Structure 1
Amino acid sequence: MKAFILNSYKPKNGMKLIDASEPQLQENDILVKIYAAGVNLLDSKIKSGEFKPFLPYKMPLILGHDAAGVVIKTGAKVTKFKIGDEVYSRPADYKIGTFAEFIAIDENDVALKPKNISMEEAASIPLVGLTAWQALVEKADLKKGQKVFIQAGSGGVGTFAIQLAKHLGATVATTTSTTNAELVKSLGADIVIDYRTEDFETILKDYDVVLHSQDSKTLEKSLRILKQGGKLISISGPPDLDFAKEIKLNAVMKLVMFILSYTTKIKAKRLNVNYSFLFMKASGPQLSKITTLINSGIIRPVVDKIFPFEATNEALAYVESGRAKGKVVIKLISK
């Protein structure tokens, strides 16, 4: 099969297109012929070695965390899917590799593709959809009538999270540029702040939840707009001790995570608010719930650009530029 591989962290010439062996199936795996793959900033962070301390990969590595395609083979113990099913997935860590023609995925990390969207749109959903779900539903337990601040509303996570938060009945504030203001409003944002000319800290007050995805300065300001007992969930760090325990890191790395998040935790405690770090996990059952929302028209994918498979390096560079509105997708097969 054709695949883009990473031969080392921080490669000088990006990923290399090669002929690779077809993935071997474990008994609970399905083999998916990939029609489209989503591109995420996570791919860039892994490529740069930023996550190597707690998410080390052996080289060569096929990147890619989102896929939509068709099941062409099933493992001996697979019960949820059959050959010919159209599916989508965010494969589990250490089993990634969607920048390729085929991938083997544990059936528990897969869901049937929504019927009313294209393969390319489906491939844009899993990672950002699960991130928003795990932040707003699992960690925040966001309720009707609450107020949530979603940073970078026109980004991949932001465009999904705004729609999910509105579905849950929350009032949504977000930041974006003037050029993307109408986009985020169309997704349901109630308060739109131009981050270039306005300071959200002077506008927002007594919020229940913040979904943080920006830098440390923005994090500090975001803690201050929360009400007493409010929750800030960060997907951009710093990682904390709870995260280290969750992924079973060794004692040294637990200490590192404790130190990295110590200052933020102290500031949150002084304000009587809660800070937690989220590194999303693969989940077929949660993705199935997202499928229902998409099939019902409650959430719609937002795709900025679709690149041909041969231009995978260019697609990742575009994501790294920070200019994308919604998601960037690689197209392997026309349906």
Structure 2
Amino acid sequence: MKAAQFQRFGGPEVLEIVDLPDPHPGPGQVRIAVHAAGVNATETKLRSGELSFGAGLPQTTGRDVAGVVDELGEGVTDVAVGDRVFGISDDGAGAAELALLTYRAPIPPSLGFVDAAALPIALETATRALDQLTVSRGRTLFVNGATGGIGGTAVQLALARGARVIGAAGAANQNYLALLGAEPVTYGDGMVDRIRALAPGGVDVALDVAGNGVLPELIDLAGGASNVVTLADFQGAEKHGVHFSNGFVDGNGFHALGEIGALIEAGRFWLPVDRTFPLDEIVEAHRAAETAHARGRLVLVVG
């Protein structure tokens, strides 16, 4: 099969399309013929060497995938050959013609492969953070960095749980954030005052997606470090006693994959795709992921 791979760490140019053996599913896995694969920040950081989960070189890439089941592993009964599914590629090898999935769900009927491939990592990450913050009906959540893929997902999922959501974004994204359903405020000097104008008593919980050094302010707004989770500021989390959410070590939100369909079909959730690229233009896709500030996701079209 054709797959994206890198043999050294570095910029997007280290990525290449190579021929690899076709994978076959083990117990509980399914194999899909990949139609689309998302590109996210974790993959660009793994490729650059900024992040490392202990994998050696060469490495494949790609976690978000959508496609058609073409082979079943032992014990699989939830899907059948020919089903359209989306999920998270085992071993981060989804930017390829074939991928193995343990965590998967049927693609909602109204979605195509490209839109479905934009969802899995954003869904899992946002859901995990909301679970850790126990976001529920009647609570007020502040999201710092509310218009990217994960931030926008967190906003919509929190609203679906019945929470009130205040979100921070740049000036150009205020209308978009309001469209998602949050009460928008701008970044920068005076942000805390703008939040307190909407919530004089502060907020119940706060989620930091942006990682722009505002954890002390969020701790004050939410009444303590235990009410704040960050997805982007590891050093700040250690310094201020805030939980840094990491799905590799402290649980996951994979249950969201099977739950999102109802919200999508009811018109209560959407995650826009900003640009698509063919698989053989993955270098350009990674470059765009590192340099652009898109509201929507970037997706590779594979087949």
TM-score by length of 2: 0.90
Q: Distance in 2 between matches of 1:304 and 1:10?
A: 25
Pick aligned residue for 1:167 from 143, 147, 160: 160
| Higher mean C-alpha displacement, 212-221 vs 155-164 | 212-221
For 1:75, the equivalent position in structure 2 comes to 73
SS state of the match for residue 227, structure 2?
A: strand
1-structure distance, mates of 2:221, 2:134: 18
AA aligned opposite 2:75: K
C-alpha separation between the residues in 2 aligned to 1:211 and 1:131? 12
Q: Which residue does the alignment assign to 1:195?
A: 187
* 2:204 counterpart SS class: strand
- Report the equivalent of 2:6: 6
1:118 counterpart = 2:112: yes
Q: Aligned match of 2:178 in 185, 193, 214?
A: 185
Give the letter for the 2:168 counterpart: T
Q: Choose the corresponding residue for 1:224, options 206, 220, 224.
A: 220
What's the CA shift for 1:40? 0.4
* Shift in CA distance, 125/218, structure 1 to aligned 2, threshold 3 Å: same
Residue identity (%): 25
Change (3 A) 1:85 1:178: same
User: Structure 1: how far apart are the matches of 2:190 and 2:3?
Assistant: 44
Query: Which residue identity is paired with 1:195?
Result: Y
Residue in structure 2 matched with residue 16 of structure 1 by the alignment: 16
Could you say which residue in structure 1 is the equivalent of 2:199? none
Rounded Cα–Cα distance in structure 1 between residues aligned with 2:272 and 2:247: 20
Aligned partners of 1:9 and 1:48 also within 8 Å: yes
Aligned residues of 2:285 and 2:298 also touching (Cα < 8 A)? yes
> Take 1:48 and 1:188, find their aligned partners in 2: how far apart are those partners?
35
Note if contact 1:110-1:283 (Cα within 8 Å) is conserved in structure 2.
Answer: no
1:142 and 2:118 are equivalent in the alignment: no
Instruction: Confirm or deny: 8 A CA contact 1:3 1:20 kept in the other structure.
Output: yes
SS of aligned partner of 2:43:
helix
Residue 234 of structure 1: how far off its partner (Å) = 1.0
Per-residue CA deviations over 1:256-315 (Å, capped at 9, x if unaligned) read xxxx854211xxxxxxxxx21212366653310122222222211221111222211111
Deviation at 1:216, TM superposition (A): 5.6
Task: Tell me which amino acid in the other structure corresponds to 2:181.
Answer: G
The answer as to whether partners of 1:159 and 1:302 remain within 8 angstroms in 2 is: no
Q: What CA distance in whole angstroms lies between the structure 2 residues aligned with 1:49 and 1:155?
A: 23
How far apart, CA to CA, are the structure 2 residues paired with 1:29 and 1:228? 42
The SS at the match of 1:57 is coil
2:293 is equivalent to residue 317 of structure 1? no
Matches within 5 A, 1:275-294: 275-280=242-247, 284-294=254-264
| Alpha-carbon distance in structure 1 between the residues aligned to 2:254 and 2:77 | 13
Counterpart in the other structure of 2:274: 304
- Shift in Å, 1:227: 2.7
Equivalent residue, structure 2, for 1:28:
28
Q: Distance in 1 between matches of 2:225 and 2:289?
A: 35
Give the residue type in structure 2 aligned to 1:202: D
Contact 1:159/1:326 (<8 A) preserved: no
1:193-230 C-alpha deviation (Å, 9 max, x unpaired): 2225x532222241111111233622222222213586
Q: Which of 88, 100, 103 is the matching residue for 1:104?
A: 100
Query: Is the CA contact (8 Å cut-off) linking 2:159 and 2:165 kept in structure 1?
Result: yes
| Unmatched segments (≥5 aa) in structure 2 | 197-201
Q: Within 1, Cα distance between the matches of 2:268 and 2:34?
A: 26
In 2 relative to 1, CA 320–114 (structure 1 residues): closer, same or farther, beyond 3 Å?
Answer: same
> Matched residue of 1:50: which SS?
coil
Q: Deviations 1:118-146 (Å, cap 9, x if unpaired)?
A: 1111100110011111111x211112222
Q: CA deviation at 1:28?
A: 2.0
The yes-or-no answer on 1:154 pairing with 2:147 is: yes
Structure 1 residue matching 2:34: 3-state secondary structure: strand
Check whether the contact 1:71–1:84 (CA below 8 A) recurs between aligned residues: yes
Is the counterpart of residue 42 in structure 1 residue 51 in structure 2?
A: no
| Amino acid in structure 1 at the alignment position of 2:7 | N
Q: List per-residue Cα deviations over 1:236-264 (Å, max 9, x = no partner).
A: 1317xxxxxxxxxxxxxxxxxxxx85421
CA offsets, 1:92-115, max 9 Å, x none? 5xx211111111122xx1111111
Contact persistence 1:6–1:14 (CA under 8 A): yes
Q: Which amino acid aligns with 2:95?
A: F
Rounded to whole Å, the distance in 2 between the matches of 1:233 and 1:225 is 13
Unaligned runs of 5+ in 1: 240-259, 266-274
Q: Distance in 1 between matches of 2:12 and 2:35?
A: 28
Aligned residues: 295
